[in-house]
Amino acid sequence: MAFGGTLWMLILYMIIFIHFLLFARGVYYHFTRTHIPPGITHSIKLHIFSFAMGYFLDLGVFLEKLGICHRFVILRAVYDAMPTRKDSKLIRKDLVFDGVPVRVYWPKTSPAGNRRGIIFLHGGAGLIGSIRTSENVCCSIVHESDSVVVSVGYRLAPEHPYPVPVLDCLTAAIHFLKNAKEYGVDPNCIAIVGESSGGTFATAICQELVTREDLPRLRAQVLIYPMLQTVDFDLPSYQQNQLVPPLFRERAIKFGGRHLTGKDINVDGVIKGAHVPYDLREKYQKWISADYIPEEFKARGYVPHAPAPFSEELYEQVKRSAETMFAPLLAEDDIIRQLPETFILTCEYDIIRDDGLLYKKRLEDNGVPVTYHHLPDACHATISYLGWGPLEFPSSKKSLQHVAQFLKGLYK
């Protein structure tokens, strides 16, 4: 009995010691490798979020090395534990659309006719996030736009690497378009809304559906700070914001590699552009170049760098990253010009800000109407903090207001 008690005490001390080491590493990493610009409002909140995310990621890596679970399990559990909105003014049902779990939200008020429909795709790099984590955002969209919202619970990598997450979203979207009237929705008034990687998926789905004559046409795509290309990770926003949390440049590429392959990749080689063959780099130059970024977005600094020599080994590892379902900015013009009216929101202190700017230019060059909003005091993922009370950012509500205003204006 005494031996058993001593063993449990040793285990407890070991757990405490491990957490202390992780905490100390997190403090060191946060204050030596993180930069939070003074232009971000309520920056103390970002310090808290950044440290917490780093800590739980480190804990996940430690558990992964012990063979207990993969590194994203802990972070998923933490995000799912965050408070969500309990709203008695809404009806919600958990359903399954052709094998894909969804949560459908309806306003309780009776409409004069069928409502507009919204397909919502949450962010999280295809690795974290869930229906539950997007609950606050979806409830707010329902109220602000008087719409029926379908939140898609797609499968996540690394258990289900690309293209599984986006194909799940595509399956759910097709089901909703085919059966919109069953949910009180006008099939000709459906928009797709995506945040971060959800914006990537929304963009890819719009491109996939433009040639589908058997389905109602999507009315609009709403892209909230989407990641859209995998060719150039040295654009101005990637340089300026490479150390700004929560989406550091290295972290974004690590996450993208796990989503794409289920494994770790050579991050440094991708940052330097060694994964892009010379012929493809020349082709993509007409769409992806710092020359197309307005000068005001270079004011915080930009130094052009020549790409590293091409690596065949790295290219073979990540070559599917050039598929348009993974990097929609690489779609051909004949697809781009068929896309529906588009809303794009970017944040100044976000590494993928310039992806949105480049896609805006491509759409406008091809005659697609674009509504664009830029948040000058915000970082990546700002809308996901909506409903977190004192931890919410002012830009969280601003981003929702811009989205809701656009959605309401579509169906006048």
Place of tokens 């610009």: 37
Q: How far apart are CA 186 and CA 180, in angstroms?
A: 6
* Strands, E assignment, 129-288: 148-152, 185-195, 220-224
What number of residues does the chain have? 412
Return the pLDDT at 211.
Answer: 92
Residue 223 has pLDDT above 80, yes or no: yes
Residue 412 has pLDDT above 80, yes or no: no
pLDDT, mean over the chain? 91
Query: Is the CB of residue 90 less than 8 Å from the CB of residue 142?
Result: yes
Q: How far apart are CA 256 and CA 263, in angstroms?
A: 10
Return the pLDDT at 25.
Answer: 67
Return the pLDDT at 80.
Answer: 87
- 3-state DSSP: the chain helix, strand, coil percent, rounded to 5? 50, 15, 35
Domain boundaries, the chain: 2-80, 92-412
Mean pLDDT of 232-237: 97
Residue 275 has pLDDT above 60, yes or no: yes
Q: Specify whether domain 92-412 bears CATH 3.20.20.70.
A: no
Place of tokens 């000058």: 376
| pLDDT tens-digit map of 159-196 | 999 999 999 999 999 999 999 999 999 999 999 999 99
Mean pLDDT of 263-268: 92
Q: How far apart are CA 344 and CA 356, in angstroms?
A: 7
Q: Is the dihedral of CA 252, 253, 259, 262 positive or negative?
A: negative
Return the pLDDT at 318.
Answer: 95
Query: Is the CB of residue 152 less than 8 Å from the CB of residue 169?
Result: yes
| pLDDT tens-digit map of 334-370 | 999 999 999 999 999 999 999 999 999 999 999 999 9
Q: How far apart are CA 158 and CA 71, in angstroms?
A: 10
Tokens representing 78 are 């933490």
154 vs 4, residue with greater confidence: 154
Catalytic residue annotation: 196, 350, 380
From residue 5, give the alpha-carbon distance in Å to each of 1, 12, 17, 77, 80: 6, 11, 18, 30, 34
